[in-house]
Structure 1
């Protein structure tokens, strides 16, 4: 890190080897892996904490293996989570893998863990409440970002590589002019919280209730249910027009476990709408810029695989780019765009396959139910249950993904005490 950039510990950063926009799973994992490999990295997160109801909680076996490879298993064990071992096709315990379950862990706790570990490396800098607003272009290259700090001041941060990990509504993707192809999705999701009693089951995804016209999933967040209520695309207006009591009654009719809690919804002010999108950028890179995670390919919430796919993107990025980033840090050599293309080539096939499966599930399972049809178990599920070899292959794809990534970067630096990078990352903002 240059002397100029070293002022980041006072809250100002002007230069780094890598700048990552977005402190979600992809951005935080990439920042940690690069910092532990000795690469100066700044992660910019526009919110002041990691608390978001829309964040998914599914940590698949592929990510649990990465956590072990990063020597974070003991820290992760301190996060309260529920192991989910069964799927509609069968049990993950059929697989010969170390972690035969999906850990339902609050994503904000997972991100806090990555941030805490990152602070142990002097090359890691995390600026919270810092919003990326634009790219810096120099001689046909992206040379960094413009951002607004927590005090509202406009600043610039120059970097050899800019990584857009800022989600499905990526500011950097829009600013760079890289388009994304939208794939029609027939559903939206209404999100709301309902209280949870001590007598309720502790099963991770403990509620999955379907009736003609309705599809409800409840995520067990220990002290409350985070409920996902699926509606047809653009259908929220009709739900609102019917009134809050009709909405409460539809919850009671579909999920008897929530009969009493449904009354907690006093108005639609308690309900948020997730505009479900599935899209993919045909090109993930420009000279000096790389898109990963939802910025490159927005995933449906079905299966909860989006988090893990984004993390796999981050690991592949670190594995492929860290030698070139070290050279850039030492000599100022630009990162070859061919290597950025190598990341896309490595991760695009898994993305295409998973998105195709999600779109098929949405169109053939969820959309007919929301149109009023009775739910029918797909014939493929019956085939998988009857044929062990096919079932285990499907379970392995769900658990470990396609082209599973492993940590290949070295661990070259640690600090005995956490290092406060930038403004630091408050674990929780009480406000």
Structure 2
């Protein structure tokens, strides 16, 4: 049985960022990650401008920009018989924070892990699966976990932070149940190749719509990351159609990509995401705080889930580091974090729910098979509309800055 200042359960973006920030404050922090590595495909692969700015404030910007990545510049809706209409142009934002970096999440997590490993108080334990909470005297005192050889162990801590995602084990162990909001669709992620003649500057996100379905194409340097959207509850029907049926769906939505749908070799190439939109009524109990998807699962609309989770991590470090250094984290300290981050969460989820009602519900029910006419009108004729969307996606409400104790100097980033 070991003892640490802060036990962070879950080595995703929020958990790794929180571990780095707390370690730079001088806190003894241990991150438990259930997998042996970070190599999972089709996790959120977007690093938003607010996070890029945070990385610059941490003095890590130059190393970050050396990682393989592409730059997402705009969101465009196709229009039959005419050129696509740009709904949001990230180039309108002040540089160098005028793009969304697209990179495999494992590269980003390894990057954060390497930076955190330079701090003497940081420990990362892989292949440790959280199984429950250690309680004593009405307070959470640590976390129970399973080791690689299958034995049970405990890690005691002054506070436990649950960053273990939308199916959080610790959230369930604490008896915290999220309020669920209806979501009309699920997503199936897969890849299609980009040919050599198509490589170059990444344009952005291009959706295509059909009755009861939609298809997103996220441009990468050497492939398209595709997201197929259909009504919630249709996974069994899609799989019953077989791979040929799914290929026909993709080709019908994007005839220009029909020449490469054979790259979908089997339905095992599809990564199904059961889309959830929820949030906890209370994010904490005595000794435990939930942040990120453990506190509020987000729709993939706008790709803002990672952005919001990392902002949670920054606020958590800011408010809890002084208490951790004193050796006592109170319930009031945990409430401060929740109060700081609840309003931005409510705003983002409200916007996502409005988008679902205005765009996705009519499409999934077959009432509409194209972008809303009102949105296209505003995008064409109201220039400020094209800056509102990227600003909201890039920074969101109440973006956080690196705490003073975590900042390091480096030369100014280049656009």
SS of alignment partner, residue 405 of structure 1: coil
SS of alignment partner, residue 260 of structure 1: helix
Aligned to 1:296: 295
Aligned to 1:336: 330
Q: Which piece of structure 1 moves more, 53-62 or 207-216?
A: 207-216
How far did 1:324 drift? 0.6
Aligned to 2:413: none
Q: 1:15-414 maps to which residues of 2 (within 5 A)? A: 15-87=3-75, 88-96=86-94, 98-202=96-200, 203=202, 205=204, 207-328=206-327, 334-372=328-366, 373-380=368-375, 382-383=377-378, 386-389=381-384, 391-411=386-406
CA distance in 2, matches of 1:201, 1:364: 34
SS of alignment partner, residue 197 of structure 2: coil
CA distance in 2, matches of 1:204, 1:104: 12
Residues 378 and 404 of structure 1, relative CA distance in 2, 3 Å threshold: farther
**Does structure 2 retain, via aligned residues, the 8 Å contact 1:89–1:384?**
yes
Deviations 1:61-109 (Å, cap 9, x if unpaired)?
1111001001111111111111122234332232335411111122111
SS of alignment partner, residue 231 of structure 1: strand
How far did 1:22 drift? 0.4
Deviations 1:277-322 (Å, cap 9, x if unpaired)?
0000000011110000000000011111100100000000001111
How far did 1:187 drift? 0.4
CA distance in 1, matches of 2:129, 2:183: 29
**Does structure 2 retain, via aligned residues, the 8 Å contact 1:106–1:221?**
no
How far did 1:149 drift? 1.4
Q: Which piece of structure 1 moves more, 235-244 or 304-313?
A: 235-244
Residues 389 and 247 of structure 1, relative CA distance in 2, 3 Å threshold: closer
Aligned to 2:80: none
How far did 1:15 drift? 0.7
Aligned length: 397
CA distance in 1, matches of 2:191, 2:149: 32
What runs of 5+ residues in structure 1 fail to find an aligned partner? Answer: 1-12, 329-333, 414-431
**Does structure 1 retain, via aligned residues, the 8 Å contact 2:74–2:204?**
no
Deviations 1:241-286 (Å, cap 9, x if unpaired)?
3332221111111122431321233432332311000000000011
What runs of 5+ residues in structure 2 fail to find an aligned partner? Answer: 76-85, 409-415
CA distance in 2, matches of 1:353, 1:252: 36
Residues 27 and 374 of structure 1, relative CA distance in 2, 3 Å threshold: same
**Does structure 2 retain, via aligned residues, the 8 Å contact 1:27–1:43?**
yes
TM-score w.r.t. the length of structure 2 is: 0.90
CA distance in 1, matches of 2:407, 2:392: 33
**Does structure 1 retain, via aligned residues, the 8 Å contact 2:211–2:365?**
yes
CA distance in 2, matches of 1:384, 1:319: 38
CA distance in 2, matches of 1:149, 1:304: 33
**Does structure 2 retain, via aligned residues, the 8 Å contact 1:144–1:162?**
yes
How far did 1:226 drift? 2.9
How far did 1:393 drift? 4.4
**Does structure 1 retain, via aligned residues, the 8 Å contact 2:42–2:271?**
no
SS of alignment partner, residue 118 of structure 1: helix
How far did 1:205 drift? 4.4
**Does structure 1 retain, via aligned residues, the 8 Å contact 2:74–2:205?**
no
Deviations 1:325-344 (Å, cap 9, x if unpaired)?
1101xxxxx31111111111
CA distance in 1, matches of 2:407, 2:246: 55
**Does structure 2 retain, via aligned residues, the 8 Å contact 1:149–1:155?**
yes
